Structure 1
């Protein structure tokens, strides 16, 4: 069969319009930092929510039980942005290794964020991979904010966590 200009199917048979739409409704913000402290020390500070107001410039308040399925109460203050509160559901708790939650605005079809902190032991201490995968209809409208203030907030939190956990390790 000859392909025409109007044929939206790529050679492997996937609908390219559908693939483009799905990719435009998904966006990742990924950050990483090496922290001069062991993973258990970093985990301690990452999960001590009551101390967040003293050191965390991005997640300025958090509370709740770190148990899969439970909801947290989280208040974010993106650099240059308005503070916002939400109640994400805990999706992964692997002490000393991974903490993840999912927050939503409306349903998952409108806007959802899968937030993840992963701690990996390295020779110098711990590598923190901190990121979020955003999905939903609002992603194209929020992409600039996600790549600006949201990424800046992740990086500010990473540096503050490194300073706090690194000071303990000295």
Structure 2
């Protein structure tokens, strides 16, 4: 298994971050990597997402919600080609670090036959993309929500 992990402190309450993070229609306003998510956040539900990385065409992927802990975290599972080759579990996790500080953990765990070799050339791009996603979330919340 391979993991891409990013973290960022967002200077607002955890509940505020959760409301933005789970409001999928807002993704187009702040998320440069996953600008579209359609579907309902519930265990066993299907979400259709669009992924955008620099220099690559947008890709649509059907994902399945694997876990939801309201106010704290959720995870979806998606795959490229077939789950046997590359499958990813994308986790969005929030931890309160004080009255107005939330740690946002944005990580993906990959498995499958090609997860190691396939990730080598993509690892930096994924890491950069997730960091841009974190920054987009923080900037959106600071400019639109916390005032």
State the match for 2:76 in structure 1.
101
| Residues 60-91 of structure 1: per-residue CA shift (max 9 Å, x gap) | 11110101001101001023333111011001
Shifted more, 61-70 versus 81-90: the winner is 81-90
Determine which of 145, 153, 158 is the counterpart of 2:134: 158
Q: Are 2:47 and 1:72 equivalent residues in the alignment?
A: yes
Query: Over alpha carbons, which structure has the higher Rg?
Result: 1
The gaps in structure 1 that reach 5 residues or longer are: 1-25
Distance (Å, rounded) in 2 between the aligned partners of 1:80 and 1:106: 20
Q: TM-score w.r.t. structure 2 length?
A: 0.91
RMSD: 1.4
**2:117 is aligned with 1:141:** yes
Aligned residues of 1:71 and 1:88 also touching (Cα < 8 A): yes
Q: Would the aligned equivalents of 1:81 and 1:149 in 2 still touch at CA under 8 Å? A: no
Give the secondary-structure state (helix, strand or coil) at the position aligned to 1:79: coil
Under a length normalisation based on structure 1, what TM-score does the superposition of the two structures give?
Answer: 0.80
Secondary structure at 1:88's aligned position in 2? strand
In the alignment, the residues of structure 2 paired with residue 103 and residue 139 of structure 1 have an alpha-carbon distance, to the nearest angstrom, of 13
Gaps of 5+ in 2: none
Three-state SS of the structure 1 residue aligned to 2:122 is helix
More strand by share: 2
Count residues with an aligned counterpart.
Answer: 145
Q: Of 59, 68, 77, which residue of structure 2 is paired with 1:84?
A: 59
Q: Any residues of structure 2 matched to 1:123-134 within 5 Å, and which?
A: 123=98, 124-134=100-110
